[in-house]
Amino acid sequence: MNCIYCNSSSVVKRGTRHNALGVKQRHLCNDCHGSFVEHDGFERMRHREKDIVRALHDYEDGLSMEKVQNHLWQHDGVKVARKTIYEWVKKYSIFLKSGEFERAASPERASARRRKIRKVKKKRLLRS
């Protein structure tokens, strides 16, 4: 198969990853160093997975659609319509819940988030 970003045929298998739908084969492009997974819905996206991941994280963190949009533009130089971000949220919210995006975006951030979630759970426990 070819790279979904640059269409290079120099693609190697690089481990697997898990999501709500099961185990996916991860591929790595030798030319643009992009990594992607077969048949997970991202192939047809015009934007890189990491941009979508960042947008969804920002949105999950409670940022307004406008701020999410600005963030993408200021930090990543990516211009995305608010409507598009809204569609990502709708389409990928199931992955957010499964934690798949946490691992895709950054392992450090995922563990920081897990700590935060544990803290909140503990607080709730203490209150009840």
Residue 41: count of CB within 10 angstroms of its CB: 11
Verify binding: residue 8, Zn ion, rule CB under 5 A.
yes
Among the listed residues 6, 20, 23, 94, the single contact to Zn ion using CB under 5 A? 6
Among the listed residues 17, 24, 28, 32, the single contact to Zn ion using CB under 5 A? 32
Residue 109 CB, nearest approach to Zn ion (Å): 25
Structure tokens at 97: 């819940």
Binding positions for Zn ion, 33-72, rule CB under 5 A: 34
Among the listed residues 9, 15, 21, 31, the single contact to Zn ion using CB under 5 A? 31
Length of the chain (residues): 128
Among the listed residues 5, 25, 71, 106, the single contact to Zn ion using CB under 5 A? 5
Tell me if 26 sits within 8 A of 36, measured CB to CB. yes
Burial class (CB in 10 A: 0-12, 13-18, 19+), 125: exposed
